[in-house]
């Protein structure tokens, strides 16, 4: 197989990229972006070799601890438990949270053979004891697996004298009421609050 | 900027990939496909450095001539002119053509400042003389730029005693008549042929 066919084949490791898209990407890089293609090769190689998990929160980092865990100006009493590093990025972009994180790197999914020990839950308990956490926010996806994981963590942490919370469920910002599903509207009505203007 | 941010940024050189998709790709590779990610880095590096243009037909190759031009069992009297290497792949997959190719690597587009010399048309004339071509098939896209390029090549090649053809325009195979545009149906009706069963 020649270098071009190998590149097209290798590009298919990217999520959502089939043969046709891979071919388009390869031809595009060869015709217009050789320098950036070479740069991508270097970045890929470095990241695949160097990026590991933060020893405190499990998030991706090239150091021993990630750049969130090493900052001193966050509230150590707050710990937000999320499924993936992408969730950390999303919450950080909201600028609404100033505590630390714990990244599960997955969720409990018996159908896929993923149990509590596969997503490092024992380490979570240790993390809570080590850092004097007072409140744990379970920011897990409102899916079956996410809710299963949430219930499991809730049971696990109950013996510790902790406040265990979850983000509010209600109307998403900017959405039109008529296009929302019944469950979201139901949750929003059940959790209604006094109007404060 | 750390290795992960650099990777996310570098992935945006791929066509159609924005920040969000790049982030998703990076996290996916790190979590599930590190080995394939490393392999992609190697393939990218090799292809960006080694792939050049075939000296006869302009298609991509790592050798002096591409693997179509080096085969001896094709019809040297036939030359199919296409815009890009992707067109060669598409025509080869039809298994309906057994001549050689000439890849323009672009099309005449005065609005983008691309003239006849930018897409190597002088070399096409030389190629036709060198290889005793008898018929040139202009398989260019039915777009304004494609048609402009076709007219230009037609004028260029007229002095040579050559047959100059283009692929038939008509109904695409497997398409439903009701969803086709008026121009396609019009062409198909104008080019109608006797029913042979």
For residue A61, pLDDT beyond 80: yes
Whether A187 has its CB under 8 Å from any CB of chain B: the answer is: no
Q: Tell me which residues of chain B, numbers 16 to 35, contact chain A at a CB-CB cutoff of 8 Å.
A: 16, 21, 23-31, 33-34
Q: Tell me which residues of chain A, numbers 72 to 91, contact chain B at a CB-CB cutoff of 8 Å.
A: 84-86, 89
Average pLDDT over residues B45-70: 94
Whether B70 has its CB under 8 Å from any CB of chain A: the answer is: no
Residue B71 confidence class, pLDDT cut points 50, 70, 90:
very high
User: Tell me, what's the pLDDT at A139?
Assistant: 94
Interface mutation target, options B10, B23, B29, B104, chain A, most CBs of A under 10 Å: B10
To the nearest whole angstrom, how far is the Cα of A148 from the nearest Cα of chain B? 22
Q: Tell me which residues of chain B, numbers 127 to 156, contact chain A at a CB-CB cutoff of 8 Å.
A: none
Q: Put the strands of the sheet holding B135-138 in their side by side order.
A: B99-103, B75-82, B135-138, B163-165
Report the percentage of chain B scoring pLDDT > 90.
68
Q: What is the DSSP letter of A80?
A: E
Average pLDDT over residues B60-70: 94
Query: How many CB atoms sit inside 10 A of residue B45's CB?
Result: 19
Average pLDDT over residues B166-183: 87
Average pLDDT over residues A77-92: 94
User: Tell me, what's the pLDDT at B92?
Assistant: 93
Q: pLDDT of A115-146, one tens digit each?
A: 888 887 888 988 999 998 999 999 998 889 99
To the nearest whole angstrom, how far is the Cα of B58 from the nearest Cα of chain A? 12
For residue A1, pLDDT beyond 80: no
User: Tell me, what's the pLDDT at B118?
Assistant: 84
Q: Provide φ and ψ at A132, rounded to 5°.
A: 50, 45
User: Tell me, what's the pLDDT at A40?
Assistant: 97
Q: Give the C-alpha separation, A195 to B159, whole Å.
A: 83
To the nearest whole angstrom, how far is the Cα of B38 from the nearest Cα of chain A? 5
Q: pLDDT of B157-173, one tens digit each?
A: 999 889 999 998 888 88
Q: Give the C-alpha separation, B33 to A48, whole Å.
A: 9
Burial label, A64 (beta-carbon count in 10 A; 0-12, 13-18, 19+): exposed
Is residue A85 a contact partner of residue A102, using CB atoms and an 8 Å limit?
no
A30/B60 CB distance under 8 A = yes
What are the C-alpha distances in Å from B195 to residues B170, B183, B192?
Answer: 15, 22, 9
Q: What is the DSSP letter of B63?
A: S
B40/A4 CB distance under 8 A = no
A3/B51 CB distance under 8 A = yes
User: Tell me, what's the pLDDT at B47?
Assistant: 96
Residue A13 β-bridge partners? none
Average pLDDT over residues B28-50: 96
Considering the entire predicted model, what is its pTM? 0.85
Residue B136 β-bridge partners? B79, B164
Q: pLDDT of A27-46, one tens digit each?
A: 999 999 999 999 999 999 99
Q: Is the dihedral of CA A125, A130, A134, A140 positive or negative?
A: negative
């Amino acid at each position: 197989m020649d270098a071009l066919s190998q590149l097209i084949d290798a590009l298919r490791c990217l999520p959502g990229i089939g043969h046709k898209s891979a071919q388009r990407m390869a031809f595009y890089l060869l015709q217009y972006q050789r320098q950036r293609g070479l740069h991508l090769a270097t970045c890929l190689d470095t990241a695949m070799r160097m990026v590991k998990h933060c020893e405190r929160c499990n998030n991706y980092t090239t150091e021993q601890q990630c750049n969130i865990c090493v900052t001193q100006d966050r509230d150590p009493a707050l710990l937000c438990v999320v499924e993936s590093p992408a969730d950390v990025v999303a919450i950080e972009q909201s600028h609404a949270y100033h505590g630390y994180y714990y990244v599960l790197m997955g969720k409990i999914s018996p159908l896929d053979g993923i149990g509590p020990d596969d997503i490092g839950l024992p380490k979570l308990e240790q993390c809570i004891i080590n850092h004097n956490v007072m409140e744990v926010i379970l920011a897990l996806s409102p899916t079956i697996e996410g809710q299963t994981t949430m219930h499991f963590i809730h049971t696990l942490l109950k013996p510790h004298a902790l406040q265990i919370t979850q983000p509010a469920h209600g109307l998403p910002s900017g959405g039109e009421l008529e296009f929302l599903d019944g469950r979201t509207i139901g949750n929003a009505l059940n959790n209604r609050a006094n109007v404060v203007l």
